[in-house]
Chains A and B, each alone.
Chain A
């Protein structure tokens, strides 16, 4: 039987685009090989997971709680902008988000 790889280089490139990671060609090669090994190993979960077992997403049986809706002090604009890569007129300056035609 021919060895089927769990993940291809093209899939890694697609996942990198979805994850907003501009990876280099050599990174894609290396990651495809490593992820193939990792995914083959972690696929072991499928052997024990059976249909009637409920999933656990969280260790504690907690339900969400809300605090009273009261106003309280937050960050000042200067504090909020202090770590920003670029600031203009008291706001975050960001690269172009919409296309020219919009």
Chain B
């Protein structure tokens, strides 16, 4: 196994491949070996096909050999969340209803990874249809956190976060609907970003809640995350809600990494009861660090944020109940009970009952309830009004500050099984991340240390206005650089699966 290659950052690996010091094939082999060695413990991947990955790598090496102008990540392997369609690999969204399904087309994000020369190693585990905060809702078994195999890797993009934390991939894709990139990044000690809504394409992304779903990157450091962000983002005419504007200068911001004169607001509502002491301690230290680097820190109140979680658990299930109606057992996916005597409607109901897991059923029923006549105004309608209030709170805050900060999650990674029978407790994992999704702006989580009481990673969340994604990278990179000096190296090197 070539640990020297695996230890390189994505930016360094890409540079080494371009300089001819190594190749896409060698890098891909190193990571495939690593996956074979550790994924039995971690279960980050749902599908890995060595030959398909190596074939992509050979093609990239040929492009480089032919003198093609390739980007900074050409030849670098990536783990791809199983919610994006891929025509050369199965796509299941971790659901039984799509077991073995091979889509006839690539998602835009998939296509752009290929165009940038990234090598897709395989598809990562997730909560079924991206509904969950622990990856325990996967129909194919839970993923484990490399920091402690008895704990959750976060969710819904938990396979992606675990893969990067266990050095099974230098980069991974995710999707963030209520925190599904930032929360797993935080609890696995990684960088994860939720781009501005509409900044990355939803075409070919299996829909959960269409007004919230946002593809974004995972990486071991801020610059790598920015490079991946840049590689797959930008306007897509095939997505009706894609923004026709240039990708914010995230790579430049990650390299700049200074916060002198920047105005930073601490969200007062994301503190106190329900927050782990060690999480708040590391968060406060990070804020002091930013202040010592020349940022101007003030406290900001966003009173509507306390109602974001209830609003989200009406809006997201409502959209999901509509989106998942497409799984009807007729054109693709599972079909159960078609014995020649049953009607299409009976076959549909049996298939959906068998193909969907408990959390997906719970959200379909909840969404159907919230959209029912008689309840619509009280639930869905009120939730949409709360969404307006949250946007107003952000707008008011960003008149005085450049970014807002909070802990990414109230607690560190919790033990597997702890919250599976208590949906409301599970939902609380997304308490701090949800407002950004409801308002559609940009946010990033960067590691800010280990909680003293359990030795597990804590994430600092940085929130910026829509299309100001670069500010989150700038602040994240500054925190990362300062903490790297303080720790004497990478935080991730302290986890059990570091190489």
Contact = CB atoms under 8 A, between A and B. Distances in A.
Interface residues of A, number: 55
Residue of B104, B328, B334, B423 with most chain A CB atoms under a 10 A cut-off: B104
Contacts of A35: 362, 365-366, 369
Contacts of A11: 369
Interface stretch (B10-18, B114-122, B171-179, B377-385): B377-385
Interface in A31-87: 31, 34-35, 37-39, 41-50, 53-60, 62, 64-65, 67, 75, 79-80, 82-86
Interface in B90-117: 101-105
A19 B94 CA distance: 21
Given A45-B307, A57-B384, A95-B338, A19 B424 contact: no
B67 to A, nearest CB: 30
Contacts of A16: 365
Contacts of A27: 358, 361
A42 B379 contact: yes
Nearest to A57: B384
B310 A21 contact: no
A97 B343 contact: yes
B365 A43 contact: no
B391 A59 contact: yes
Interface residues of B, number: 70
Interface stretch (B154-162, B292-300, B345-353): B345-353
A24 B358 CA distance: 12
Interface stretch (B181-189, B236-244, B445-453, B472-480): B236-244
Given A58-B211, A84-B332, A49 B381 contact: yes
Nearest to B308: A45
Given A45-B311, A83-B331, A21 B384 contact: no
A39 B367 CA distance: 11
B385 A59 contact: no
28 contacts: A15-B369, A19-B368, A20-B325, A21-B353, A21-B356, A24-B353, A31-B361, A34-B423, A35-B362, A35-B365, A38-B366, A39-B366, A45-B383, A45-B386, A48-B304, A48-B385, A48-B386, A49-B385, A55-B381, A56-B385, A56-B388, A60-B198, A62-B198, A62-B240, A62-B243, A84-B332, A96-B342, A97-B343
**4 nearest A-B pairs in the assembled complex, by CB-CB distance:** A59-B440, A55-B384, A85-B335, A83-B332
